Structures are given as structure tokens and as C-alpha cells.
Structure 1
């Protein structure tokens, strides 16, 4: 059976679920690609962001006592790391939600399609293998579509999460170095 025949056989619920899955797929691909690109950019710029945040306050802090300087630099770095973390997590809820719900949307489409097929079989009064196999096979297309949407979303989510962990590790290392430099320069 080709797509045109399948499309004619489906009802409004199946068509709506199909469009929901297509929209989720488009959203996850766009978000995933943008998130990975942004994660690479963030990793490149995080050291500079931390350095600039400390340098912006360095002149004000130069006259402070060493303990106050350490505490102020530490707060500046923690604030900047929180900003980096916030930037790194943008788009992840879209990927996580798509990965979590797409299989269930597809499964609902399958259940609905099987119900629809069994209802049609019940009305026709014929329950042979030829009458059951085609509609049930068509209904299973929705499960496959749900998985086809969820799997890339999971992959994008995992890649982005891993890149973000590396970025945060690098940012924390740089922050510790900047804090140590601030303490040593105050002494």
C-alpha cells in the first residue's frame, strides 16, 4: 500500500496525530542542530565570558581586602557560571519532551488505527487474515513514525547534554584558576 492509499484510509484523529509527530520532528531537528551549534559556541566563549566578568570588576576590587576580593570574585564567577549553565540548557526541554512523548503519540495512533480497523471489519462482517493484516499493518505505521521522531530527539538531547557537561567542566576549571589568580594578586 502506498502513502496516498494509507492517507485516504485514515480518519481525522490519525491525520492529526501524524501532523503532531511531523511538527515534533521538525522542532526537534531544528532545536537539536541549533543546540549543538550553540553548545560548541558556548564552549569556545565561556573562558572569555568568565575573564571579562572578573576584569569588569577588577578595578573596583583592587582596593579591597584580600578576603573581600576573594569573596567578590567568587560571587562574580558563580553568577557567570550560572548564566553559562542557563544558556547551555536552552532547547533541552523541547528535545527531552519530544523524546518522551513521541513514542506514546505514535502508540496512541497505532491503538486508534487498530480500533478503526477493527470497527471497519466489524461493520463488514469479514474477519479473515486479508481483511485484518492490511489495516493493522497500516496502524503500525504510527508506532514507527513515533519512534522515528523520538530517536533523533534522544540522540540530540544526549549529545547536547554531553557537550554542556564538558563546557561546564571547562568553565569551572577556568573559574578556579581565575579565583586563584585574584587571590594571589591581592596578596
Structure 2
């Protein structure tokens, strides 16, 4: 069965599911590429932002006691780290959602195709190959499409989460280094 036969026999529900899954696939790849490129750029920007946050406080910190200086510097660094982590996580939840939903949408398409096969059998009164081949083929296409969307979304989600975790560790290490520098400044 080629795609034109599928498309001619598909109803509005099947075509809608098809378009939704295609849109989800495009969104997955777009978000994944943007997140990969963005995380690399964000890493250097975030490190610079940490340094800038403490540089802005240096004049004020010199007037404080050691404990106060440590507390103020820690809070400034934690706030900056939180801002940078929030930037890095944009779009990752969408990948997780697509990875979770796509197989079920494919399954719904499968159920819908099997339903069409049973309706065709019921109308003809015979359970021949001619009555069930197209709807079952439609069902299998929707199953495959759901998996074709979900699998890359799961992989992209896991890669982005891992990159964000590495970024968070790097930011924490840099913040500790900066905090030590602030504590040693008199």
C-alpha cells in the first residue's frame, strides 16, 4: 500500500492525527536543534553572568563582615544560577510531552483503523482481505508514525536533560570558585 492509497481512504480523524503527529515531529527536531545550539552558547554566557553578578557586588561586599559577605555572595550566585537554569530548560518540557503523547496518538490511530476494518466487514458481511487490508494498513501506518515521533522525542529529551545537568554542575563549580575568591578578598 502506498501513501496515496492511504490518504485517499483516510477519514478526517486519521488525517488530523497524521498532521498532529507531523507537527509534533517538526517541533521535536526544531526544539532539539535550538536547545543543543543554545546550551553551548548559554554555558559561556552563564559563566560570564556569574562573574558580572559578583563584580557588581564587590564594592558593597567590602563593607560587610565575612559571614555577611558570604551570605550576600551566595544569594547572588544562587539567583543567577537559577535564572540560567530556567533559560536552559525552555522547550525541554515540550519534548517530554511529545515523547509521552505520541505513542498514544499512534495507538488511537491504530484503534481507529481497526474500527474501520470492522465496519467494512460489517457492511459487506464477509471478512475478506479486500475489506480489511486498507483499514489495517492505515492502522499500521499510524502506529509507525506515532513511534517515529516518540522515539526521537525521547532521545532528544534525554540528551537535553543531560546537557542541562552538565550545565548546572558547571555553574555550581564556577559559583564555588567565585565564592572562594570573594571570601579571600579582604
TM-score range, shorter chain: over 0.9
Q: CA separation in 2, counterparts of 1:81 and 1:17?
A: 40
TM-score computed with the length of structure 1 as normaliser: 0.95
Report the Cα distance in structure 2 between the residues aligned to 1:108 and 1:119, rounded to whole angstroms.
16
* Cα deviations by residue, 1:79-123 (Å, 9 ceiling, x for unpaired): 001011111110011100000000000100010011012101210
What's 1:17 paired with? Answer: 17
* 2:185 match: secondary structure: helix
Q: Does 1:158 align with 2:158?
A: yes
Judge conservation of contact 1:117–1:136 (CA < 8 Å) in 2.
Answer: yes
Report the CA distance between 1:130 and its aligned residue.
Answer: 4.6
| Aligned residues: CA RMSD | 1.2
Displacement, 1:137?
Answer: 2.4
Determine if contact 1:31/1:91 at 8 Å carries over to the other structure. Answer: yes
Residue of structure 2 equivalent to 1:123: 123
Q: Are 1:136 and 2:136 matched, yes or no?
A: yes
Unmatched 5+ stretches in structure 2: none
Runs of 4+ aligned residues of structure 1 deviating over 6 Å after TM superposition are none
| Mapped contact 1:36–1:156 kept (Cα < 8 A) | no
Structure 1: gaps spanning 5 or more residues: none
Contact 2:121 2:128 in 1 (8 A): no
For 1:59 and 1:111, how far apart are their aligned partners in 2? 67
Distance across 2 between alignment mates of 1:128 and 1:107: 24
- Mapped partners of 1:17, 1:138: distance in 2: 12
Q: How much does 1:167 deviate?
A: 0.7
Aligned residues: 186
TM-score, normalising length: structure 2: 0.95
Could you tell me how far apart the structure 2 residues matched to 1:162 and 1:43 are? 14
CA contact (8 A) 2:18 2:142 kept: yes
